[in-house]
Amino acid sequence: MKDLLKRYAQLLTHYCLEVQPGDKVFISTTMLAEPLLRETYRAMLEAGAAVVDYDLSFRERDLLLLSHGSDEALRTPPALQKMATETYDRFLSIRAPYNLREAQNAPADRAARRQETMAPIHKTYYERIAAKSLARCLCQFPTDAAAQEAGMSLSEYQDFVFGACKLFHEDPAAEWRKLRVAQQKIVDYLNTRSTIRYVSNDTDITFSTKDRIWINSDGRANMPSGEVFTGPVEDSVNGVIFFSYPAIYMGHEVENVRLWVKDGLIERWEASRGQDFLDQVFSIPGARRFGEAAIGTNYDINQITKNILFDEKIGGSIHMAIGQSYLHTGGKNESSIHWDMITDMTESGEIWADGEKIYEKGKFVL
C-alpha cells in the first residue's frame, strides 16, 4: 500500500498537476486521506513547490454548517478556499468521504443559500481553469463509504481505484500519455464537425458544437479519466435523452431520468426515483440548460460505482451535464451546479456527426 500511495503521489504531482518550483498548491480532502496527503505533500515539496497548504475536513462538517450555522455563517464564503481559488497555482481535491449521504436531509432552503454563497468561488474557479492560470485535479482515496456505495469491500475498491488510475503499471504516467494520443485523434475529428446526435432505444438528442472546443480529458484534470467532452451551443439542444445509470448529486440518488429538450431548454423531466429532488434542482438558475456533452472512453472502468469521477468515464457510455459550462470549451451557461448524468450506449447506441455515423454500440467506428 505504501508503495502504491507513493506512486499515486508522484502521478498527481508530476503528471496531473505538473508542479513546478515556486508553485503555490492547495489540497482539499478529509482526514481519512491522511496517508495519501502525506505522500503527496512530500512529493510536491520535493518538486520545489513554495507552498503546499491543505484543508482537512472532518465527519459531518457540511451537515453541521447547514443545520446549525447562522444566516451570516451560511452567507460567508470559506476564506481559505476563496483565497486558494483566487491566488494559488495548483488545486488538488482528494475525495475521501466519511458518509456520502450525511447532508442529504439538510434543510433545502439553507442548502440553497450556501450554494448561492459558493457561486462566486465556483465562477472564479472555472474562469481560472479556462484561462489556464489554475491547474486542477480531482482524484479519489478509497474509503469504506465509497466502497459500500460501489458494492465492494474496501480491499476490492482499493484495487478498483488503483487499477483505474493505472497504478499497477510500472510507469503509470506513460500509460496515461498513450491514452492521450489515442483520444487526441477523436478530439481532432470532432473539432471539425458541428452537429452531433446521440441515438439509442430511449434517446434521440441533437446539439450543435459550432465554434465550441472538444477537450481531451487524459488524466490531468481528473484522475482517473478517459473521456472527450465539449460545451454544446446552449440553445441548440433538441430532443429527448434517457439516463440509464443512477444520477447522484449532493447525496441524493435519482434513477431513470428522462429529459425533454427544446431549443436548449429542458421543458419536461421525470424520474422513477427522486422526482422531488429533481424538481428542486431544476428550480436553480441555469440548471435547465446543458453545460457539457461527453463520451466515456475508459474501457478499464466497466462497472457502475455511483461515483461520477469513475462512472462518467465508463467506456461505451455518454453523459450530459446540466448547469455550469466549462468555459475552456467555449460554453456560456452559468449555474451554481454542474450535474453529470450518464447513459449506456453498448446495446443500441449510435453517435452521428454531421450526418455520418462515427460510433456504434459503445465503440468509435472512425
- The predicted-structure confidence for 257-284, as pLDDT tens digits, reads as follows 999 999 999 999 999 999 999 999 999 9
Does 301 lie in the same domain as 180?
yes
pLDDT at res. 93: 97
Beta-bridge partner residues of 76:
none
Does 290 lie in the same domain as 357?
yes
pLDDT band at 87 (very low <50, low <70, confident <90, very high): very high
- Does the pLDDT of residue 33 top 90, yes or no? yes
- Does the pLDDT of residue 303 top 90, yes or no? no
Q: Containing H/E element for 364? A: strand 363-364
Phi first, then psi, for residue 136 (nearest 5°) are -130, 155
pLDDT at res. 335: 92
Region at 306 (left for phi over 0; alpha for psi -120 to 50; beta for the rest)? left
- Does the pLDDT of residue 69 top 90, yes or no? yes
pLDDT at res. 107: 87
Does 178 lie in the same domain as 101?
no
Region 334-359: mean pLDDT is 96
Whole-Å CA distances, 316 to 60, 222, 297, 298, 362 = 36, 19, 7, 8, 4
CATH number, domain containing residue 153? 3.40.1830.10
Neighbours of 300 (CB within 10 A): 16
Report the candidate in 298, 273, 286 with the shortest Cα–Cα distance to residue 339: 286
pLDDT at res. 311: 94
Q: Domain tally for the chain?
A: 2
Between 300 and 180, name the one with better pLDDT: 180
Does 240 lie in the same domain as 200?
yes
Tens digit of pLDDT for each residue in 200-237? 999 999 999 999 999 999 999 999 999 999 999 999 99
- Does the pLDDT of residue 344 top 90, yes or no? yes
- Does the pLDDT of residue 42 top 90, yes or no? yes
Of the residues 164, 199, 234, the one at which a domain ends = 164
- Does the pLDDT of residue 285 top 90, yes or no? yes
Region 273-296: mean pLDDT is 96
- Does the pLDDT of residue 1 top 90, yes or no? no
Region 285-296: mean pLDDT is 97
Does 241 lie in the same domain as 137?
no
Does 338 lie in the same domain as 243?
yes
Region 344-357: mean pLDDT is 96
pLDDT at res. 181: 95
CA distance 350 to 263: 22
Does 120 lie in the same domain as 215?
no
Cis? peptide before 142, omega within 30° of 0: no
pTM exceeds 0.75, yes or no: yes
pLDDT band at 185 (very low <50, low <70, confident <90, very high): very high
pLDDT at res. 163: 94
pLDDT band at 250 (very low <50, low <70, confident <90, very high): confident
Residue-number span of the structural domain to which 109 is assigned? 2-164
Does 195 lie in the same domain as 140?
no
Region 139-164: mean pLDDT is 96
Neighbours of 50 (CB within 10 A): 12
Does 123 lie in the same domain as 227?
no
Region 299-316: mean pLDDT is 91
Neighbouring residues of 118: CB distance < 8 A, sequence distance ≥ 6: 77, 336
CA distance 52 to 342: 35
Rg (alpha carbons) of the chain, rounded to whole number:
20
* Residue 349 Cα to chain centre, angstroms: 23
Does 135 lie in the same domain as 182?
no
pLDDT band at 300 (very low <50, low <70, confident <90, very high): confident
Mean per-residue pLDDT of the chain: 95
pLDDT at res. 104: 81
CA distance 7 to 244: 35
Report the candidate in 286, 191, 197, 278 with the shortest Cα–Cα distance to residue 238: 197
Q: In what order do the strands lie in the sheet with 215-217?
A: 215-217, 227-230, 290-296, 317-323, 338-344
CA distance 244 to 344: 6
Does 142 lie in the same domain as 86?
yes
Does 140 lie in the same domain as 202?
no
Tens digit of pLDDT for each residue in 2-21? 899 999 999 999 999 999 99
Tens digit of pLDDT for each residue in 103-150? 888 888 898 899 899 999 999 998 999 899 999 999 999 999 999 999
pLDDT at res. 9: 98
